[in-house]
Structure 1
Amino acid sequence: MPRVADHEERRLQVAAAVGRVIAAEGLNAVTVARTAAEAGISVGLVQHYFRSKDEMLLFAYGHVLERFEQRVTALIGSAEVVGTRIEHMVLDALAESMPLDTERRQDWRVALAFTGRAADDPRLGELKTAALNRTRAHIAQAVVNAKECGEVDAGRDEHVEAARIAAYAEGLTSHLYADPEGLPPAAALAALADHLAGVFTGVCTLRDREPGERPSAR
């Protein structure tokens, strides 16, 4: 009997193949047969782990969201160790979801494809809604922490600020993906940094990066 770890590893292998197909050819190109070929396994093996294409897509979308959140968690953990200003933690975390380079552009292409399908698939829609809720909650918590350390004025409402920041970042991301020449990565980052600077106006003692420094497009 296969180990649970082997079972999960195979499902992740299929999810990664789905992502590559979407990035190269779009969501409509995803079939069980095409995914199996991309993953280098048999159609029967894919069907052993996923009873239908919709089930396979649901898992793949969840994997995309989880992978992004894992990167952000690792980034924030490293930043906390060196005492990075909270404003810059938020900037770096949001930058992870922006198509600033080839790798992140591919990730966003996959996420965008699933977002479109989520409008007609309630299960995908639930994953999307949950991800948005978590994003706003994380930003709101960052604002709360920043109020406690002095980076954000105590009178600001963390939920209102979280909604504004999330919406602003998502808007920049859409423009950056659709028109990278009209809105280059550096300009998008500068705009987001300026928006955050209007919220995080105070001074915190925990700081290792000057206000003008921004995350690079890898």
Structure 2
Amino acid sequence: MPRIVDHHQRRALIARAFQRLLAAEGLGGVSFSRVAAEAGVSIGLIQHYFAGRDALLRFAYEDAVGRMSERVRARVRNGEAAGAPTAEVLLDSLAELLPLDEERMIEYRVRQGLQIEASHETGLAQVARRSGAELLGYVTAMVDNGVERGEVAAGVDAPLASRMILATVQGVADQAAMSGPDAFPVGDVLRPVVGLVFTSPPPR
């Protein structure tokens, strides 16, 4: 009986080897031979799944932002199922954008490194725009939900408020990446900013 090959699993194996190398050494230190050694596969297998460097970069970028987004959605589902205030659900889920452990640090470095490449590579730019739009849409929906629940004042510009929150998250992520996640309490930085938007406790 022929062995069934999980092609998506193989692509993910290769992409995550690439991500680890990029996070450790920067994009300039990554080659197909290095990725093959890190993943424990042949260069030919990488070339079978990825037509070239750009295809691997794009898949690795999509994989990183996709895993991050799925963890955000899981935190939202769990928070809403527990009946937590919208502001608390938002704060909890925003932690997935921060480099607070090894997995999230790798994803942060991948996103940062490939966002730079996206400035002159169309495929990566499409991934960056789509990911940014999804994040903005997610936070905007949370702000709109806060308005409906009485946690956010009526008339608040939800997209503008969401951009303020996300800009702060990016700044906190940059500081945490440079100085280490234990260098300062990230929650103490994010909570007041979210509190500028979510000004009222939810009704009991």
TM-score by length of 1: 0.87
Q: For the residues of structure 2 that align with 1:105 and 1:185, how far apart are their CA atoms?
A: 16
Residue 209 of structure 1 corresponds to none
Counterpart residue type for residue 123 of structure 1: G
Residue 184 of structure 1 corresponds to 183
Q: Is 2:54 the partner of 1:59?
A: no
Deviation of 1:69 (Å): 0.4
Identity level (%): 33
Residue 106 of structure 1 corresponds to 106
- Tell me, yes or no, if the aligned pair for 1:100 and 1:185 is still in contact at 8 Å: no
Counterpart residue type for residue 201 of structure 1: T
- Tell me, yes or no, if the aligned pair for 2:65 and 2:107 is still in contact at 8 Å: no
Q: Is 2:165 the partner of 1:174?
A: no
- Tell me, yes or no, if the aligned pair for 1:152 and 1:201 is still in contact at 8 Å: yes
Q: For the residues of structure 1 that align with 2:165 and 2:174, how far apart are their CA atoms?
A: 14
Residue 202 of structure 2 corresponds to 204
Residue 126 of structure 2 corresponds to 126
Residue 7 of structure 2 corresponds to 7
SS in structure 1 opposite 2:166? Answer: helix
SS in structure 2 opposite 1:51? Answer: coil
Structure 1 segments, 4+ long, off by >4 Å, are none
- Tell me, yes or no, if the aligned pair for 2:150 and 2:202 is still in contact at 8 Å: yes
RMSD of aligned C-alpha atoms?
1.9
The count of residues paired between Structure 1 and Structure 2 equals 203
Q: Is 2:132 the partner of 1:147?
A: no
Q: Structure 1: state its 5+ residue gaps.
A: 207-218
Q: For the residues of structure 1 that align with 2:152 and 2:58, how far apart are their CA atoms?
A: 38
- Tell me, yes or no, if the aligned pair for 1:98 and 1:104 is still in contact at 8 Å: yes
Counterpart residue type for residue 203 of structure 1: P
Residue 213 of structure 1 corresponds to none
Q: Structure 2: state its 5+ residue gaps.
A: none
SS in structure 2 opposite 1:156? Answer: coil
